[in-house]
Amino acid sequence: MYINNVGLIVQALLAAGNPDWDRADGGERQAAQVSIISIANAAGRILIGLGADHGKNKYDAPRSYFLVITALVAIASQVSLMYAEIPNHLWMSSGLLGLAYGATFGLCPVLTIEWFGIGHFSGNWGFVSLAPVVSGNLFNLMFGRNLDNRATESKPTIAPPSHALIRGLPSSKELLCYDGNACYTDSIRVSLFACFCALAISVFAAWRDKQRQEPGYSKAGVLWTVDEESPSSSQAR
């Protein structure tokens, strides 16, 4: 939700109590946030890969432990976003969210293999990858509706050209919210709740993975273990 609407968030903070805010400055600040998210996304994928492998090989820690850390980083990003009052404060939210986003998509493919097996990885990972399509659209619709409810029509910054009036093109008026972070705080509360739900699920997954490592642990009741037969054993039967 934040990645798709960071431009609107920057506009809301710049326009807070200032109907004559600089559009060019807003565009530069939007580009800066996108760059921060992209760099943090790449860093998150690298760090989660190195960290999860190091923890697994040296300390025998389940990789799902790092899913808990990822959820905590996502929560921190939403909390910092709620209290950001000027665009200069968004760098922390963008950086933390980029790290969480990159770590999630860097770690989940490996967890999908560990939980469901390599034999059906392509199908299982396909279903996992489709999850953001549904949730992302729902959260984007919620964000847009919340923003529109607080928006008012802005005054045109320049007189529209004559050829635009002749051809019936829209004027430079647009709907903008001038309430600062209050324009989207309700949406962030919902996304923060979703992050806490993700944290709870991550803690449960980490606990189950740790239980599976205990000596004498029975596989009965394990939801995500798939027993696969090798071709040789199948032919032997």
**Domain-embedded: residue 194:** yes
Q: How confident is the model at residue 104 (pLDDT cuts 50, 70, 90)?
A: very high
Where in the sequence is the domain holding 7, given as residue range(s)? 2-158+170-236
CATH number at residue 9: 1.20.1250.20
What confidence score (pLDDT) does residue 141 get?
92
Of 119 and 154, the one with more pLDDT: 119
With a cut of 80, say whether residue 158 has pLDDT above it.
Answer: no
Chain segment 49-98, per-residue pLDDT in tens: 999 999 999 998 999 999 999 999 999 999 999 998 888 899 999 999 99
**Domain-embedded: residue 165:** no
**Domain-embedded: residue 213:** yes
**Domain-embedded: residue 163:** no
**Domain-embedded: residue 204:** yes
pLDDT above 90 covers a percentage of the chain that reads 46
Name the residue among 63, 58, 49, 71 with its Cα closest to residue 210: 63
**Domain-embedded: residue 9:** yes
Distance between CA 161 and CA 150 in Å, rounded?
Answer: 29
Tokens of 16: 């807070």
Q: Helices 65-82 and 90-116, interaxial angle, to 10°? A: 160
Looking at residue 152, the DSSP 8-state letter turns out to be E
Tokens 């390599």: give the residue. 118
**Domain-embedded: residue 131:** yes
What average pLDDT does the structure give for the chain? 82
Q: In the chain, how many domains are there?
A: 1
Report pTM.
Answer: 0.79
Residue 74 exposed, middle or buried by CB count within 10 Å (0-12, 13-18, 19+) = buried
Amino acid identity of residue 122, one-letter, is S
